[in-house]
Amino acid sequence: MATRQLDIYAPQSYEDFVNEIVAAHDGAGIWRETMPEDLIHIQVLVSADESGPVLDALEARLSGAEGFRIVIIPVEASIPRAEKAEKKENGIVGAFPRISREELFADISETIELNKVYLLLVVLSTLVAAVGLMQDSVAAIIGAMVIAPLLGPNVGLCLATTLADSKLGFKAAKTLIVGLFFALFLSIAFGFVLPIDPNIGEIAARTKVSYGDIIIALSSGCVGVLAFTTALPTMLVGVMVAVALLPPLVVTGLLIGAGQYDGALGALLLLSTNLICINLAGVLTFYLQGIRPLTWWETEKAKKATKKTLLIWLILFAVLLVLIALSK
């Protein structure tokens, strides 16, 4: 797990409390300096998974204090090397090392911005996917999978559920819906103008759904969330390729534009499989990792929201299983 430097700014009267919190968690170093206006600046070097409890304790006590602020800085390396103490964890919650809630929120918020860059990525990935599908080019399709920005909004929906953050959820949903319809309409236009052969291998492969696709989508949903919570973005590339949302979406649009509605329904079913499984597995993974709001009343609200959302996704998952069985 990576290391984080916490720059803590607080009134000097809170110095003993800050020291007590920091001392209760394993750290590689601590530095202090007095600042003007009766402020204290404390720098702490901790592992990324230790930063969460420290931040929660400090925010709960100091959030109303004048001049209070914490800046979280990722650390590439330090000299001498930081030695992490061994810890034993009991139970599921806390057993998985993860970054802090604030850092996770910031990382995911960047992926759900509905801006020109996001729309451009959707357009470019749709173009690459469409050309790759029509030319039966696996390399081009994989390129579109890696470009596709649709995974971030799905993970944002999962995080919004576990935190009961309606603002984050609305923002993620809006970005996802705009991206999906943008790519769909563009694909339909391609299918209407260009000759589409539904028997092309890469197109035909995405008009059928098997139970294996469900296993892949559920597993990839878990890994996608873990890639965010453990700050290992290299895993995201594999997730995008394994459970890509864009290729079945593009196939749906191409076949609708070409008037091949039976094949389009099959591709739409595959897209729905990936969407449902990603969100179901994502919410569960966030919940089991102990991602919670700061206060107890927000936590209770989040638990209720998580249970209701999980019930909805499970009902959709059951409907999905029925549809797959009927399609066979």
Residue 83: the pLDDT is 62
| 87 vs 68, more confident | 68
Q: pLDDT for 110-141, tens place per residue? A: 889 999 999 999 999 899 989 999 998 888 88
Q: Does the pLDDT at position 282 exceed 80?
A: yes
- On the question of a cis peptide bond just before residue 80, with omega within 30 degrees of 0, the verdict is yes
Q: pLDDT for 179-232, tens place per residue? A: 999 999 999 999 999 889 999 998 998 998 888 888 888 887 888 788 788 766
Which of the four pLDDT bands, split at 50, 70 and 90, describes residue 236? low
Q: What is the Cα–Cα distance from 162 to 159, expressed in whole angstroms? A: 5
Vertex 114: Cα angle to 234 and 277 (nearest 5): 55
Domain ranges of the chain: 3-75, 101-327
Nearest to 203 by CA among 150, 151, 264, 148: 264
Q: 98 with 289: CB under 8 angstroms?
A: yes
Residue 97: the pLDDT is 62
What pTM value is reported for the model?
0.80
Residue 243: the pLDDT is 57
CATH 1.10.3470 given to domain 101-327: no
Multiple choice CATH, 3-75, 3.30.70.120, 3.30.70.20, 2.40.50.100, 2.60.40.1120 = 3.30.70.120
Q: Does the pLDDT at position 95 exceed 50?
A: no
Q: What is the Cα–Cα distance from 85 to 202, expressed in whole angstroms? A: 50
Residue 148: the pLDDT is 65
Give the single-character DSSP code of 14: G
Nearest to 80 by CA among 29, 41, 43: 29
